[in-house]
Amino acid sequence: MDFFETVKARHSYRGAYTGAAVPDGDLISILDAGIRAPSGCNAQTTSFVLITEPALLKKVFAAIDENFAVGAGAAIVVATEKKVFGFGLEFEKEDYGAAVENMLLAITAQGYATCWTDGATRLNGVCEKIAGLLAIGDGKNVRCVLPVGVPAEKHSQPPRKSFEERVDWRR
């Protein structure tokens, strides 16, 4: 898929998945896209846990919602670590956002579906539950879970405001 077609097609998929497995090569390409994202001061504060084992997928998805991502073939749990630089800034959130967006686009380009679950994972201690399930510690914080799978239904990107409403082009 062409890059700009991918951008136009990318959306948050909240439906069921077919249950089809996602080939390892596709998952590696998706994770490589996340690893290659820009990172403030090249600190590379974002890391990933890839889950394909069905029983563990079910537990992680259930921590979010019992009906979440039913049939997804894989999940990527995204974690970050806070690192403050000598000049007083940290780039944890920026690094995380860039890595996730790269992966969202890679998932879409390969014909799979996903949903960035940042909001759902920050509520009701979900991040902590998932961190416990996966033994994520050592100063790392779970940020989101990206289910990856073949969508059972067709969806598309919701309408966007017009270019003119969102861009103030100074000439």
What pLDDT, in 10s, does the model give residues 34-89? 999 999 999 999 999 999 999 999 999 999 998 899 999 999 999 999 989 889 88
In a domain, 163, yes or no: no
Instruction: Say what the pLDDT of residue 16 is.
Output: 93
Amino acid at 150: V
CA–CA separation, 55 and 72 (whole Å): 12
Tell me the residue range of the domain where 64 lies. Answer: 3-7+21-150
Instruction: Say what the pLDDT of residue 1 is.
Output: 82
In a domain, 143, yes or no: yes
In a domain, 166, yes or no: no
- Check pLDDT > 90 for residue 146: yes
75 within 8 A of 121, measured Cβ to Cβ:
no
Residue 99's CATH number: 3.40.109.10
In a domain, 68, yes or no: yes
pTM of the complete model beyond 0.85: yes
State how many domains the chain has: 1
> How far is Cα of residue 27 from the mean position of the Cα atoms in its chain?
12
| Average pLDDT of span 147-159 | 93
Q: What is the pLDDT of residues 106-138, one digit of tens each?
A: 999 999 999 999 888 888 999 999 999 999 988
Q: What is the pLDDT of residues 79-90, one digit of tens each?
A: 999 989 889 889
CA–CA separation, 61 and 49 (whole Å): 14
In a domain, 159, yes or no: no
DSSP 60-76: HHHHH-TTTTTT-SEEE
In a domain, 12, yes or no: no
